Structure 1
Amino acid sequence: MPQHMNSTRNARGQLTIAELVSMPHLGLELAAGAAGLERRVQWTHTSELEDPGPWLEGGELLIVNGFGIPEDGPGQTQYVRRLAQHRLAGVAVSVRAPALTHEMLAVADELGFPVMRIPRQVPFIELSYLVANASERSARDRLSRHLRIFETLRLRNTSDSDVAGIYRQLEQIAGYRLALISPAGQALLAEWPWVPDVDWGDALESVDLRVVPDGYVVPLFVDDRVTAYLVGIEHDGSSPEGLAALQHVSTLAALDAIEDQRRREAAHRTGASAFARALEASGPEGEAEQLLHEAGLARDTPFRVVAFGPIPHALPEARARDWLADRQIRHALLRRDQLIGVLQCSDERLVELGVALDVPIGASPRSAVVSEIPRLLRQARWSLSLAGESATAEVVFTEKQLGLARWLNPDARTLERLAEDTLRPVLEHDASQGSELFHSLAVFFRHHGRMRAAASALFVHEHTLRYRLNRVEQLTGKNLKNYRELFELWLAVEAHALVVRADEE
């Protein structure tokens, strides 16, 4: 625990644990945690919850009857660890509490966390009044400091606003070293780049305030999403003003998080516009490349075109955009009927993106030629159709499909002619009769010709599926028992998927 936590009442007008224990009329007996006797008591609180820490600010003396204290040693050990983690000054336990175990007291000694017994009937209110009266001046000082935090808002709104200067002033007022970071642990503001070297655990995935070594992590919301975190770390040479002060700072930091989202949205619109122009394959030569370069993609650097499966969460564009931006991955995303993108990153990063969004992704081969983007998108969408056959979210790279993409030449005219010549009778029959012959054939192939599995996926009887496949044979003149003709139908079905996606584009 930093040395500044050991200031006494003389410095801040607050009682210490040692002073409370030394008052005979209170009758407090120190059971464990003697190393923390000089902790200041900012306030008192009573709670019989097994984990009251999240509802406290830190610095409180917790006074309990003990109804929330477990009776077993491991349970009591966790109870003390949680209180210490939330930086309480100590805990005073009444005679009604369960017997304090040796394990609990040993952990309290290890952590320097004071545990006191109240051996007789001392009204809790008497102890609270005593602490409150001693802390009156400190409370006034804290209120003044909290007001000064909001005074910095005036500085922020000036035309020559000094971001670094504002955060330095907030550090002095709040008594914490401050960091504003993205969910990826990167500095959110170029003007304030400091990021603490701590073990984040899962703190950067939480929507709740979390405790980290010597500090707190406060989530910052923009609309209904956590887009950044304010981190406050205690350090030698300052007196932290507690969680309330840090939460006041977070109100101001949220304005920077909102501004950051505006910048990202503007960059996103620029990238989407450049990507759309590249897909149109029209305009002066090199214009699309110049626009993508201005949107942030590096010139003459290989990229992949990717197609995303349905993202099962709100705001899929924003989630994908922020994930990429937080990791400084150059990209341009475009949302039409589907989220697609141009990405300059490693394959490992692309796989991480799929896992983070929990979606399948189809990825084209790498290229550095912007004019190839329309063709690459068709390859990405074809790869996505293969990814959709898997029960898990995965990234399917076109060039890793055993050369199949080279047989299915992603030239739109060739594919359209192949699909139309072979499947036209089936598609026309479906259109005029409202049947599902083409879909049944595609599902049959997807299940590798296993009749029972395909029928189950279609929710029909095997006889019904067999009848539909017989109709396909009649309409196309192809025999599904003839390997060459079956293979031709399978190629046509795969090609049709590419043609449909190219038309949707």
Structure 2
Amino acid sequence: MRLRELVDDVELGLVVRAGRAELDRSIAWVHTSELADPTPFLEGGELLLTTGLALREADCADLVGRLVAAGVAGLGFGVGISHREIPPQLVDAAEAAGLPLLEVPRPTPFIAISKAVSRALAAAEYAELRRTSRAQHELAKAAGSRDGINALIRRVSKLLDAWTLLLDAGGRPLHAAPSSATAEGIESEVESIRAKKGPSARILTFNGEEVSVQQLGARARGVLIVGRRAAFSTADHHLINTAASLLSLALEQGESLEAARRRLVNGLFALLLRGEDVVDELSRLRLEPPVEPFRVVALAGAPDNDELLSRLTADHPETFLAEHADVVVALVAETDVGRLAGSGLAAGVSDPCRLADLAEGVRQACHAAEAAGPGDAVRFAALAGNGVLDLIPAERARAFAESTLAPLRGHDELIRSLDAWLAHHGQWDPAAVRLGVHRHTLRNRIRKVEELLDRRLDQPGVRAELWLALRADPR
């Protein structure tokens, strides 16, 4: 309720004596006090009622200053009891400070003013509850519509007259209203919210706007961001919380449906590997293998294959993706290999294959992935360059390399020289040019290698062993 509405109530008979320009102030509550200094018992926003029982004329300016500092909405002064009229000093001080001063006539009991404000507050709260209830109903209706999440985001934006943005679990935009809404400028705050375990929320002030950031769901399924110029009221926060709850539920249901779909795709993929014709079933899921011949890409080393599949499905919705053993497999055209192989995981790429040879393509891709390191992409055709090393278990190959090259440890210059000399089939001049040294320097280094190894390098078998050791040495 505003002071002006109280003044307009003819039954109360209130008269404005000062601060008429400030009558649009809202009244949070009504408080009555006859203390010389009631401010320790005020919270701000009150209409303070008094008869001035303890007020001295000399203290009027000091009282007004204290009330203004306490943030009261106004001062109601009852006349005809302690004072026949409002002290002029109080009127002057209130007018100078812009504090609304209302004269309460003797026939008007203070309780009548309290009841009038209480009724108005109760009516306002009821209206706010009805508005919130209607808004929550609209949000629930939007969430249950065919457009689901997108409709809910648009409805939140319209009800709050705010921009609204929904991020997925990886921090990428899913839906925005208007479409231009972004999290630019508050990325660090959003990341801080996403890093927390369990639901969390924060209110920010950025570029003159109040921004609400909420993590969705116990498993951090996404982030809801709502911002606008005006501050959010308590009812607005209730509305945002309702939207967050509905979005959490919708995302959880979406995850369950997607998990079921992935299980179905994995089952159909297993049938494909066995040579079964399930192309029609895949078409019903809007999945079709690429035009033959295609490549099989195997991605290994992901902490969570389900999360990887969700991310890849969102980034590459038209790509056939499935889980096979402990790797994620994709069937792609040659032109799309780079997009999948650049995922930061160990990637193996098969030779071109057809659907009838899918099992062989998967075997090749998985075999190539085993030879790849994190962030590397290895093609199956390239494995032939390892020759006999590809037939030896990795641990045994490393042990052989460490044992053979042990005398050279700590002599990196000699190891580089040996590698270049062997790569040029023992030819001194090409190897020296590659190393950027004189051929006599290279001869001296190779003689030093022979001394340390206690082996003659003019023997083909020795050269072959050293070449294999250098290739198998991870260092």
TM-score for both structures, normalised by structure 1? 0.47
Q: Which protein has the larger Cα radius of gyration, Structure 1 or Structure 2?
A: 2
User: Which structure exhibits the higher relative contact order, with contacts defined as CA atoms closer than 8 Å and separated by 6 or more residues?
Assistant: 1
TM-score for both structures, normalised by structure 2? 0.50
